[in-house]
Amino acid sequence: MAKAYDALIIGAGVVGNAIARELSRYRLNVGVLEKELDVGMGTSSRNSGVLHSGIHYKPGTMRAKLNVQGNELMKGLCRDLKVKIQYIGKLTVAQDQVDIETLEALKAQGETNGVPGLEIIDVEKMQQIQPGVGGIRALHSPTTGIICPYGLTIALADNARENGVNFHLSSEVTGILKTENGFQVKTAEGGFFETKVLINAAGLYSDAICRMLGLTEYAIYPCRGEYLILDKRLNGSLSVLIYPAPRKGGAGLGIHLTNTVDGNILIGPSNEYVDTADDYACTADIIDQLKKEGQELLPAISTSDFIRGFSGLRPKQTPPSVKGFKEFVIEARKDIPGFINLVGIESPGLTCSPAIALMVRDMVGEKISLEEKGNFVTERNGFPGSFHDLPEEEKADLVARDPDYGEIVCRCEQITKREILDAIENPLGSRTIAGIKYRSRAMMGRCQGGFCMPRIVQILEKDFGYRPEDYRLYSPDSYLFTGHVR
Amino acid sequence: MREMKRDLVIIGGGPAGLSAAAAARQVGCEDILLIERDRILGGILNQCIHDGFGLHRFGEALTGPEYAQRYIDKVNDAGIETLLGTIVLSMDHERKLTVSSRKGYTRIHAGAVVLAMGCRERTAGAISLPGTRPSGIYTAGAAQNFINLQNIMVGRRAVILGSGDIGLIMARRMTLEGAKVEAVFEILPYASGLPRNIQQCLNDYDIPLHLGTSVIEVHGKDRLSGVTVAEINHFQPVPGTERFVPCDTLLLSVGLIPENELSAGASVKMASGTSGAFVDDTFMTSIPGVFSCGNVLHVHDLVDHVSDEAALAGEFACRYLDGGIYRTDTPIAIEPKTGVRYVLPQQVSGKSDFTLSLRVTEPSRDRAVWVRDGDRKVARKKLVRLHPAEMIRIKVKKEKLETAGKLEVSVQ
Does pLDDT of A178 surpass 60?
yes
Question: What's the per-residue H, E or C state across chain B?
Answer: CEEEEEEEEEECCCHHHHHHHHHHHHCCCCCEEEECCCCCCCHHHHHCCCEEECCCCCCCCEEHHHHHHHHHHHHHHCCCEEECCCEEEEECCCCEEEEEECCEEEEEEEEEEEECCCEEECCCCCCCCCECCCECEEEHHHHHHHHHHHCEECCCEEEEECCCHHHHHHHHHHHHCCCEEEEEEECCCCCCCCHHHHHHHHHHHCCCEEECEEEEEEECCCECCEEEEEEEECCEECCCCCEEEECCEEEECCCEEECCHHHHHCCCCECCCCCCECCCCCCECCCCCEEECHHHCCCCCCHHHHHHHHHHHHHHHHHHHCCCCCCCCCCEEEEECCCEEEEECCEECCCCCEEEEEEECCCEEEEEEEEEECCEEEEEEEEEEECCCCCEEEEECHHHHCCCCEEEEEEC
Question: Is B150 close to A454, i.e. CB distance below 8 A?
Answer: yes
The torsion defined by the Cα of B84, B90, B94 and B95, in degrees rounded to 10, comes to: 20
Q: How close, in Å, is residue A182 to chain B by CA atoms?
A: 36
b/e map B380-402, b = 16+ CB within 10 Å: ebebeebbbbebbebebeeebbe
Q: Measured between CB atoms, does A289 come within 8 Å of chain B?
A: no
Greater confidence (B324 vs A461) lies with: A461
Measure the CA–CA gap between B51 and B71, rounded to whole angstroms: 16
Q: How many of the other CB atoms lie within 10 Å of CB of B156?
A: 15
Q: Can you give the pLDDT at residue A389? A: 87
In DSSP notation, A320-383 reads TTT-S----EEEE-SSSTTEEEEE---TTHHHHHHHHHHHHHHHHHHHS---B-S------SS-
Measure the CA–CA gap between B250 and B130, rounded to whole angstroms: 13
Averaged confidence pLDDT in chain B: 96
Measure the CA–CA gap between B221 and A38, rounded to whole angstroms: 16
Q: Which stretches of A233-336 are assigned E, i.e. beta strand?
A: 241-244, 256-259, 265-268, 272-273, 306-316, 329-332
Interface test with B, best of A407, A413, A452, A458 (most B CBs within 10 A): A407
Q: Can you give the pLDDT at residue A250? A: 58
What residues in A contact B275, CB-CB < 8 Å? 304
Q: How many of the other CB atoms lie within 10 Å of CB of B246?
A: 12
Angle, alpha carbons B100-B104-B106 (nearest 5°): 65
Question: Is A485 close to B100, i.e. CB distance below 8 A?
Answer: no
Q: In terms of C-beta density within 10 A (0-12 exposed, 13-18 middle, 19 or more buried), how is residue B58 classed?
A: middle
Q: Can you give the pLDDT at residue A253? A: 58
Q: What phi-psi label fits residue B404: left (phi over 0), alpha (psi between -120 and 50 degrees) or beta?
A: beta
Measure the CA–CA gap between A362 and A167, rounded to whole angstroms: 22
Instruction: Provide φ and ψ at A267, rounded to 5°.
Output: -110, 130
Q: Can you give the pLDDT at residue A134? A: 87
Measure the CA–CA gap between B135 and B222, rounded to whole angstroms: 6
Average pLDDT in the A70-78 region? 98
Q: Can you give the pLDDT at residue A249? A: 62
Question: Is B156 close to A482, i.e. CB distance below 8 A?
Answer: yes
Q: Which residues contact A80 (CB under 8 A, 6 or more apart)?
A: A159, A378, A379, A380
Point out the residue among A278, A450, A476 whose CB comes nearest to the CB of B139. Answer: A450
Q: How close, in Å, is residue A98 to chain B by CA atoms?
A: 38
CATH number of A87-147+221-316: 3.30.9.10
ipTM at complex level: 0.95
Question: Is B222 close to A483, i.e. CB distance below 8 A?
Answer: no
Does pLDDT of B266 surpass 60?
yes
In DSSP notation, A124-146 reads HHHHHHSTT--SSEEEEETT-EE
Question: Is B102 close to A284, i.e. CB distance below 8 A?
Answer: no
Q: Which of A52, A56, A140, A256 is catalytic?
A: A52
Does pLDDT of A251 surpass 60?
no
Interface test with B, best of A295, A404, A478, A479 (most B CBs within 10 A): A478
Q: Can you give the pLDDT at residue A449? A: 95
Average pLDDT in the A319-342 region? 94
Q: How many of the other CB atoms lie within 10 Å of CB of A106?
A: 20
Q: How close, in Å, is residue B329 to chain A by CA atoms?
A: 32
Q: How close, in Å, is residue B354 to chain A by CA atoms?
A: 32
Q: Can you give the pLDDT at residue B324? A: 83
Angle, alpha carbons B351-B355-B358 (nearest 5°): 130
Q: How close, in Å, is residue B84 to chain A by CA atoms?
A: 11
Q: Which residues contact A128 (CB under 8 A, 6 or more apart)?
A: none
Domain spanning A1-86+148-219+318-385: CATH superfamily: FAD/NAD(P)-binding domain (3.50.50.60)
Interface of A with B in 466-485 (CB under 8 A): 468, 472-485
Question: Is A450 close to B103, i.e. CB distance below 8 A?
Answer: no
Res. B3 pLDDT band, cuts 50 70 90: very high
Question: Is A447 close to B121, i.e. CB distance below 8 A?
Answer: yes
**pLDDT digits over B95-123, tens only?**
999 999 999 999 999 999 999 999 999 99
Question: Is A406 close to B100, i.e. CB distance below 8 A?
Answer: yes
What residues in B contact A306, CB-CB < 8 Å? 125-126, 128
Give yes or no on whether B1-119+256-327 and B330-412 have one common fold.
no
**pLDDT digits over A103-136, tens only?**
999 999 999 999 999 999 999 999 999 988 889 9
Report the DSSP beta bridge partners of residue A90. A141, A241
In DSSP notation, A52-72 reads --S-SS-TTSHHHHHHHHHHH
**pLDDT digits over B20-74, tens only?**
999 999 999 999 999 999 999 999 999 999 999 999 999 999 999 999 999 999 9
In DSSP notation, A426-460 reads -TT----HHHHHHHH-TT-STTTTTTHHHHHHHHH
Does pLDDT of A278 surpass 60?
yes
Greater confidence (A143 vs B351) lies with: A143
Domain boundary assignment for chain A? 1-86+148-219+318-385, 87-147+221-316, 387-470
Point out the residue among A280, A457, A473 whose CB comes nearest to the CB of B150. Answer: A457
Let me know: does A113 contact A55? Beta carbons within 8 Å: yes
Q: How many of the other CB atoms lie within 10 Å of CB of A192?
A: 12
**pLDDT digits over A298-311, tens only?**
889 998 899 999 99
What residues in A contact B248, CB-CB < 8 Å? 482
Task: Report which secondary-structure segment, H or E, holds A42.
Answer: none
Interface test with B, best of A411, A414, A437 (most B CBs within 10 A): A411
Check if A52 is active-site.
yes
Angle, alpha carbons A27-A31-A32 (nearest 5°): 140
Q: How close, in Å, is residue A410 to chain B by CA atoms?
A: 11
> Closest Cα to residue A131, out of A231, A242, A51, A53?
A242
Measure the CA–CA gap between B10 and A473, rounded to whole angstroms: 37
Angle, alpha carbons A226-A270-B129 (nearest 5°): 35
CATH number of B1-119+256-327: 3.50.50.60
- Out of 2.60.40, 3.40.50, 3.30.1300, 1.10.150, the CATH code matching B330-412 is 2.60.40
Res. B220 pLDDT band, cuts 50 70 90: very high
What residues in A contact B152, CB-CB < 8 Å? 457, 468, 481, 483-485
**pLDDT digits over B153-182, tens only?**
999 999 999 999 999 999 999 999 999 999
Q: Which residues contact A207 (CB under 8 A, 6 or more apart)?
A: A218, A219, A220, A343
Q: Can you give the pLDDT at residue A107? A: 98
Point out the residue among A284, A448, A477 whose CB comes nearest to the CB of B123. Answer: A448
Q: How many of the other CB atoms lie within 10 Å of CB of A57?
A: 21
Interface of A with B in 195-254 (CB under 8 A): 228-229, 233
Q: How many CB pairs below 8 Å do chains A and B form together?
A: 143
Express as a percent the part of chain B with pLDDT over 90: 95
Res. A166 pLDDT band, cuts 50 70 90: very high
Measure the CA–CA gap between B252 and B129, rounded to whole angstroms: 11
Please tell me the least confidently modeled range out of A230-239, B15-24, B389-398. Answer: A230-239
Measure the CA–CA gap between A257 and A229, rounded to whole angstroms: 10
How many CA atoms within 13 Å lie on the side-chain side of B326? Answer: 5
CATH number of B123-254: 3.50.50.60
Measure the CA–CA gap between B331 and B321, rounded to whole angstroms: 21
Domain boundary assignment for chain B? 1-119+256-327, 123-254, 330-412
Question: Is B125 close to A414, i.e. CB distance below 8 A?
Answer: no
Q: How close, in Å, is residue B151 to chain A by CA atoms?
A: 5
Does pLDDT of B206 surpass 90?
yes
Query: How much is the pTM?
Result: 0.96
Point out the residue among B120, B121, B223 whose CB comes nearest to the CB of A478. Answer: B223
Question: What's the per-residue H, E or C state across A174-196?
Answer: EEEEECCCCEEEEECCCCEEEEE
